[in-house]
Structure 1
């Protein structure tokens, strides 16, 4: 049965002797919001730094890659299956197809 009003930092609730109004403090509210914002920002920075460290560690295990993205794509480790089949996606557009391996497991 409590009614909060965040813009005015007021909360009202009924009691046996009438309505109780609890008032907030704008300075304290602002300081609390700023502190929680800094905490959230530091947590995001820590998480992103951890991800970046992980990527750097993974990159250290990779062979040297060319700075040219086209060369990197050509040197990629992905090799298509030897036995493949083109599956048409749209009969009206023969240029739209997918390539699948013919030796795929039924699972």
Structure 2
């Protein structure tokens, strides 16, 4: 029942992006038997190990015409009988934040490890004099032409130079 989606999420896990598997319409209900509110909300489905099962964004809150207060962990909306108040749990909220923080830290550490390993491999290939060796990303190492000349970009700052091939004109 998933429909294709073309959204990319940023910031759910700090430093990483995520593309959804698709999107789906789901009825969301708040309240009880006597006083409730239900709306059909479009959700983007992602394959992430995270502490949240669902995130309600601005469009979902607008559908419910809900008002939130993060510090009090409360959300209020109009319902048929009276104002409906959804109350969060501080203990669960703290556990969720800690779990999300641990997940973000582990993903960030894994990404940093991969970058360090790539830098070490490039440094080792340069140290061994293997300038033509491919780097882990598949591109070959940069090899300047044999004959180059330095061009001063601004006479007031002679240390700012650009190096060009000796066969090129200064213009």
**TM-score of the pair, normalised by structure 2:** 0.44
Which whole-Å CA distance do the structure 1 matches of 2:100 and 2:94 have between them?
10
Alignment root-mean-square deviation, CA:
3.1
Q: Provide, for residues 1-43 of structure 1, a one-character-per-residue CA deviation record: whole Å limited to 9, x for no partner.
A: 1001010000000112110000000000000000000000001
1:52 aligns with 2:116: yes
Counterpart for residue 167 of structure 2: 103
1:56-71 to 2 correspondence within 5 Å?
56-64=120-128
Q: Displacement of 1:81 after TM fit?
A: 6.4
Residue 51 of structure 2 is aligned to residue 3 of structure 1: no
2:95 to 17, 31, 35: 31
Name the counterpart of 2:154: 89
Correspondence for 2:82 among 18, 41, 44: 18
Rounded Cα–Cα distance in structure 1 between residues aligned with 2:157 and 2:95:
63
Shift of 1:84: 3.5
Greater share of strand residues, 1 or 2? 2
Distance 1:83 1:36, change over 3 A: closer
Q: Deviations over 1:31-72 (max 9, x none)?
A: 00000000000010000001111112222322359xxxxxxx
Structure 2 residue runs of 5 or longer lacking an equivalent are 1-64, 130-141
Specify the structure having the higher radius of gyration (Cα).
1
